[in-house]
Amino acid sequence: MMRGAFDDVPLTTLFPFLTAEDAASLHRAAGTVDAARAGRTTAFWEWALERAAFPGTQAGTPIALGLDVIEHAEGGDQLEFLLQVVWTDPGQLAVDTAANVACWCKTDHATHDVDALRLVIGEETSLSDAFRAGAERLTGWLADPHDADRWRAKAGLPPRRMS
Ligand SMILES: [Zn+2]
């Protein structure tokens, strides 16, 4: 993965179908996310030029472009927010937005998704529309108090154990 500021992302190489207007819309949406996390995290945007085209079958969901905002707390706790443009099938892009928290169950699951939104890109939903909706969801999460236990309570998960 390459990493940098959103201005460094080669948008029209990654997504050759983007119009200038779409690209400007992506920049605006990314700007709202960058503003919402300003001063709190140094996370970079990441992208993979080799995934400009569908990379074929591989494990997991190949990410073309994404942002991973991880907030670590003391005692190994973690709250993570993701905004990603992914390939779900040949020729099929989607925008995934997810919030996850560190697991404190008796059985260690590492992390749990506590909220997620996938918008599949197609005739009805353009990449710029999906990206804007994902960015709105992410900025909403970033505006909330960053309290992993609150997220776990909402999802019915055990709270962090104090040692
Ligand atoms: Zn768990």
Q: How far is the CA of 111 from the centre of ligand 1 (A)?
A: 6
- Identify residues whose C-beta is under 5 A from ligand 1, the ion: 103, 105, 109
What is the pLDDT, as a whole number, of residue 73? 75
Dist CA 106 CA 56 (whole Å): 37
Domain boundaries, the chain: 2-154
DSSP strand E in 103-152: where? 111-120
Q: How far is the CA of 82 from the centre of ligand 1 (A)?
A: 19
DSSP strand E in the chain: where? 2-4, 45-47, 63-73, 77-89, 92-102, 111-120
What is the pLDDT, as a whole number, of residue 122? 92
Per-residue pLDDT of the chain (163 residues; tens, 9 = 90+): 899 999 999 999 999 999 999 999 999 999 999 999 877 766 789 999 988 888 777 667 889 999 998 887 777 789 999 999 999 888 899 999 999 999 999 999 999 999 999 999 998 999 999 999 999 999 999 888 888 999 999 999 999 987 6
